[in-house]
Amino acid sequence: YPQKHQSVSGLCAAQWRRTPSVTMLKALPARFLVSPEPGGRRRSPRPRSLRPISAALMTNPAYFEVGRLLGSYGFMNITSYSSSQSGGFPNDAVNQDLSLGYSPEEIERLRVQDVGEGQVKIRLYEGRVVQGPLKGTQTVFKVYPGAIAGASEANLMALNELRTHAFLQSDARDICENIQFLLGAFETATGEQWLAFRDDGRYSAADYAKITSERQLKERPNFWNPYDRAYKLELRKYFVLRLLNGAMCGLVHMHNHDRLHQSLGPSSVVLNTVAEKNGYYLLPQLRDLAFSVDIGYSSILSAFSFTNEKTL
């Protein structure tokens, strides 16, 4: 997470999202709406000894205390595709070499893309739980703008993210430590949607890349110790491999439960540390599930039937 307010381009310039379809939003199970006091434990410092925790969600805002603003970020959207008349490869032979099995129509779409800034701005706050068995647990609030701001798209995104986390946390025996854990959610009088996540880290993979590159530019090579560089490279290799392995484990868990992330990027992977010497304790977690979709058979069949009814 950003430590101070940052612009949309600074956080998500390389990411684009699509608005989730209404047909993929399923009803939230009632047990997630009426559980005022979830039970469970907080993750221990060593991720390998993670214990099962309750999947119930807190929906009463009185259970939380909000702290300072951590920052904000937005989303980038591909709004349209431009014709290759304004750019692209003029040589058909080059097109043939670069097709890599894609159809001409797909290559055409990839040539020139019109990228625009999304209307949804997310705010992040620190906080903690002040009531119930999880009292004292540190949280990070993700706030979607309310109806007063005319953010109907934000409401869909918040609802989809809530339902996706609720589904993935529905079985306390099958909770993936590589996916950000949702503690609760509530709506304010102004229509803002607040999602409370357990604070397992405020850095992202994008922060790690930026911090590491800036530090490397400032460091001077140690010519007197030829093993120093090799040792640092081994630490970096181990850190990056654990980062990628954690992100892949989160994706595998989602795919095994018929969910696609659809918004994966460096800013969508939360890290509890960016120090390469602490790579053994690194715990990557996926976030930003607002654009995830249900690809289960029943969901696809329902969407197909809905489309046929509209066609008829």
Lowest mean pLDDT among 40-44, 101-105, 212-216, 270-274: 40-44
Between residues 155 and 249, which one has the greater pLDDT? 249
What is the average pLDDT across 140-149?
Answer: 82
How large a percentage of the chain has pLDDT more than 70? 62
Output phi, psi for 140, to 5 deg. Answer: -125, 125
CA distance 50 to 34: 26
CA distance 180 to 245: 15
What is the average pLDDT across 202-214?
Answer: 94
DSSP 90: -
Which residues are bridge partners to 294 per DSSP? Answer: 259
Position 184 scores a pLDDT of 95
How large a percentage of the chain has pLDDT more than 90? 45
Contacts of 4 (CB under 8 A, 6+ apart): 71
Residue 1 has pLDDT above 50, yes or no: no
Contacts of 30 (CB under 8 A, 6+ apart): none
Q: Which of 298, 270, 300 is nearest to 198 (CA)?
A: 270
Work out the mean pLDDT of the chain and round it to a whole number.
75
> Where would I find the H helices in the chain?
8-12, 92-98, 104-111, 152-168, 205-218, 226-256, 297-311
Q: pTM higher than 0.75 for the full model?
A: no
Exposure on the CB side of residue 3, measured as CA atoms within 13 A = 5
The letter for the amino acid at 102 is Y
Position 218 scores a pLDDT of 84
What kind and span of H or E run contains 18?
Answer: none
Convert the pLDDT of each residue in 12-23 to its tens digit.
333 333 333 333
What is the average pLDDT across 221-238?
Answer: 81
- Map out the domains of the chain as residue ranges: 8-79+107-311
For 8-79+107-311, give the CATH class: alpha beta
Convert the pLDDT of each residue in 67-121 to its tens digit.
999 988 877 665 555 554 444 444 554 445 545 566 666 666 555 556 566 678 8
Query: Which residue in the block uniquely carries the two structure tokens 């460096």?
Result: 266
